[in-house]
Chains A and B, each alone.
Chain A
């Protein structure tokens, strides 16, 4: 998903900063040195992604929020801001936007065990260049792109994706509820924590 960022006018930026500045560290942003941009997201209705950037810091410092113009939910690495928007009815999922939603979710949500990467393109994997050429080739060979289907019986979306988490690369199924809750289940491990590749992709590697 490519975000189409639009810079906000100074007056609008000032309004955003005024809202955020009510908090203890809000003074980190000032109208003189900061700017705000917004991007719409295909799975949200009435909520936009807002990025506030202070250019007076070295390097420039940004915080991202989900906002309907009056409430600002800081994307703080936890699922909570996304849950809050969903609880307010802002999330509208369908089989055309659910892949964008899970990609966005894992871009902004992390856990104590570290980042979670959905692998759409194996060349973008963060650890790829630390593997041997054989391992890299094997991972690319077994890679399949992300796919989404709607499970009418259970009223959930099923997204299949390669996923990297806690040093393990696996083929996973993400069960996405209409309220945005995501549950991950594994159906084949592609690479264990030591970097050993499951070459026959049987799913029995551990």
Chain B
């Protein structure tokens, strides 16, 4: 425990360097390599990566709170964030990247985010359909990465962002499928 605390205390009091000039993460290349390597272990992840490549979708990593991410249609770019100084993304970043890539794919496939003036019922229905689709892609990728790599942290991180019940339900579904075969 003492070594963890020493590491923590060192990280909490770094020597102040010159202020970074922009928002982009210094270790963007290494972070994206790690994320793509993880996504490539999942069949669903490979589909998303292949879509991104075919469509020339850009992915950038900004310095900042890990929970910030989004797809910017105007720039055909998915942004994710990682804390400054880290070179390895947390497993949570995989789920966020999946969300950004799938948002892009849905926009490209015609299931765009609805305009608010199409009527409340239809607006809510499209929103719900998109959100369900994205959550399902996230849980599939998380599950498949765990199956391929045994990485337990990805389950913990997925639970930490509030998808614990979804993950448990998906695991039960998969167990039921497996018992049928």
The answer, yes or no, to whether A122 is at the interface (CB within 8 Å) is no
Q: Interface of chain B, helix or strand or loop or mixed?
A: mixed
**Interface stretch of the complex, out of A3-11, A58-66, A138-146:** A58-66
* B-contacting residues, A38-92, CB 8 Å: 54, 56-64, 73-80, 83-84, 87
Partner of B12 from the list A58, A170, A183 (CB cut-off 8 Å) is: A183
Q: How far does the alpha carbon of A77 sit from the alpha carbon of B87 in the complex, in Å? A: 13
**Interface stretch of the complex, out of B36-44, B47-55, B77-85, B172-180:** B77-85
Q: Interface of chain A, helix or strand or loop or mixed?
A: mixed
Which chain A positions have C-beta within 8 A of B71?
57-58
Which chain B positions have C-beta within 8 A of A20?
23
Q: How large is the interface on A (under 10, 10 to 19, 20 to 34, 35 or more residues)?
A: 35 or more
Which chain B positions have C-beta within 8 A of A56?
72-74
CB pair A28 B23 closer than 8 Å: yes
Which chain A positions have C-beta within 8 A of B75?
27-28
Which chain B positions have C-beta within 8 A of A58?
70-71, 73, 103, 107, 113
CB pair A76 B83 closer than 8 Å: yes
Q: Which residues of A contact B (CB under 8 A)?
A: 20, 23-28, 54, 56-64, 73-80, 83-84, 87, 108-116, 126-127, 129-130, 165-166, 168, 170, 181-186, 189, 206
Q: Which residue of B lies closest to A189 (CB)?
A: B1
Q: How far does the alpha carbon of A54 sit from the alpha carbon of B69 in the complex, in Å? A: 11
